[in-house]
């Protein structure tokens, strides 16, 4: 069996029973959450039989994934397995040669990335993409570019509507997100002054501004130290627990994956080779072979979260 370590203790998790208390303390928008819970479908995202090739290279073949509403579904696999390509297909950056996508019951296969974002899809990227010279709060605000009614011209001239919208946006972010992700103490700091783990948290905050139904996280704890990983896992779990957000997670850190996932899909060389609960996947012989068959030290199978 692969040594997928998971030594975090259960005390850190925020369970369903604690949600109401938590929401009250953090002033989260309960009516908004109740509406989402009422309307959410069982399956938030259906990825059906995706084929994606770059010239002769088949990056994805016959990949199907179901992300159930309010659950954390992880996509794992060795380097080059096609995980980020799959996210690019889901968010609309790559157009697959074949396959279909539905989000909350709606066929989104033909929609542009911005249209998908507008329908409630949001993502973070494998590499940090923040704007230096801007504060944490301003970086987070950029996540709302599809929300502001103001056009580019009025924004450039800072007309009153822009200022009003911005003030309102700042208050919403401070009320709903800054507290949730514990960024209060750094919200006015230049983003480049922050430690790496905090910068990744700012990216998560920016992805949450539109209150997404579906959140795509591409390696949110890559490069973090143990403490930063532990914190990020807790924040991702909190977002799901408190906002009922559906999460699709790519991660090499098996400690995190095994702890917070409800369901796991495994890709190898662009093909799905296994899926199931963490307990099912960790003993699956095909998964073990895919990881141990890599030529280099399989960092993705190492016990990284202690
Ligand atoms: N735009 C592109 N053009 C050509 N080939 C690409 C492109 N994007 C991805 N690929 C190739 O597709 C394959 C899958 O890459 P992808 O980045 O999706 O893997 P991954 O599972 O995310 O890997 P990692 O764990 O290292 O991030 C690789 O062989 C990669 O080189
Ligand atoms: Mg990748």
pLDDT at 166: 83
CATH code: domain 1-120+213-306 is: 3.40.50.300
d(CA 95, CA 93): 7
- Kindly identify the ligand whose nearest atom is closest to the C-alpha of 299: 1
The reply to whether ligand 1 has any atom less than 6 angstroms from the CB of 59 is yes
pLDDT at 256: 96
d(CA 179, CA 58): 43
pLDDT at 239: 96
Q: Which among 79, 93, 116 has a CA at the least distance from the CA of 215? A: 116
Whether 26 and 180 have beta carbons less than 8 Å apart is answered as yes
> Residue whose CA is closest, atom 8 of ligand 1?
85
> Residue whose CA is closest, atom 29 of ligand 1?
80
The reply to whether ligand 1 has any atom less than 6 angstroms from the CB of 54 is yes
pLDDT at 126: 80
pLDDT at 7: 35
Whether 297 and 291 have beta carbons less than 8 Å apart is answered as no
The low-confidence residues of the chain, meaning pLDDT below 50, are 1-28, 39, 152, 295-306
Residues 6+ apart with CB under 8 A from 185: none
pLDDT at 292: 75
171 Cα to the center of ligand 1, angstroms: 39
- Kindly identify the ligand whose nearest atom is closest to the C-alpha of 79: 1
Helices marked H in the chain — which ranges? Answer: 19-26, 30-39, 83-91, 113-118, 136-141, 152-156, 160-173, 196-208, 226-243, 254-260, 278-282, 285-292
pLDDT at 106: 95
Phi and psi at residue 267, in whole multiples of 5°?
A: -110, 145
59 Cα to the center of ligand 2, angstroms: 12
Look up tokens 């807790």; give the residue. Answer: 234
β-partners of residue 48 are: 100
Out of 85, 222, 273, mutate this one to test ligand 1's pocket (max ligand atoms within 8 Å of CB): namely 85
pLDDT at 158: 59
pLDDT at 6: 37
pLDDT at 155: 54
The reply to whether ligand 1 has any atom less than 6 angstroms from the CB of 187 is no
The reply to whether ligand 1 has any atom less than 6 angstroms from the CB of 85 is yes
d(CA 4, CA 38): 36
The reply to whether ligand 1 has any atom less than 6 angstroms from the CB of 139 is no
Q: Which among 248, 273, 272 has a CA at the least distance from the CA of 260? A: 248
> Residue whose CA is closest, atom 31 of ligand 1?
80
Establish how many alpha carbons lie within 13 A of residue 201's alpha carbon, considering only the half-sphere containing its beta carbon: 28
Q: Where are the domains of the chain?
A: 1-120+213-306, 134-210
Q: Which among 95, 85, 101, 3 has a CA at the least distance from the CA of 44? A: 101
270 Cα to the center of ligand 1, angstroms: 9
pLDDT at 163: 80
């Amino acid at each position: 069996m692969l040594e997928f370590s998971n030594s975090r203790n259960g005390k850190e998790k925020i369970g369903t029973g604690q949600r109401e208390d938590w929401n009250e303390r953090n002033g989260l928008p309960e009516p908004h959450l109740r509406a989402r819970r009422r309307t959410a479908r069982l399956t938030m995202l259906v990825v059906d039989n995706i084929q994606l090739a770059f010239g002769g290279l088949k990056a994805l073949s016959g990949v199907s994934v179901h992300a159930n509403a309010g659950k954390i579904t992880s996509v794992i696999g060795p380097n080059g397995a096609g995980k980020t390509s799959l996210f690019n297909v889901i968010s609309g950056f790559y157009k697959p040669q074949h396959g279909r996508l539905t989000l909350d019951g709606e066929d989104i296969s033909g929609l542009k990335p911005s249209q998908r974002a507008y329908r409630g899809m949001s993502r973070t990227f494998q590499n940090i993409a923040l704007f230096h010279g801007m504060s944490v709060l301003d970086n987070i605000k950029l996540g709302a570019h599809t929300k502001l009614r103001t056009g580019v011209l009025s924004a450039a001239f800072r007309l009153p509507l822009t200022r009003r919208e911005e003030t309102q946006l700042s208050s919403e972010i401070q009320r709903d997100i800054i507290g949730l992700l514990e960024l209060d103490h750094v919200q006015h700091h230049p983003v480049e002054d922050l430690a790496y783990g905090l910068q990744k948290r700012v990216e998560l905050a920016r992805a949450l501004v539109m209150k997404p139904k579906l959140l795509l996280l591409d390696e949110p704890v890559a490069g973090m130290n143990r403490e930063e990983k532990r914190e990020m896992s807790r924040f991702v779990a909190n977002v799901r627990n408190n906002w009922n957000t559906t999460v699709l997670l790519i991660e090499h850190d098996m400690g995190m994956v095994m702890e917070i996932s409800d369901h796991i899909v495994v890709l190898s060389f662009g093909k799905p080779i296994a899926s199931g609960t963490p307990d099912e996947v960790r003993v699956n012989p095909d998964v073990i072979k895919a990881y141990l068959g890599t030529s280099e030290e399989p960092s993705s199978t190492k016990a990284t979260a202690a």
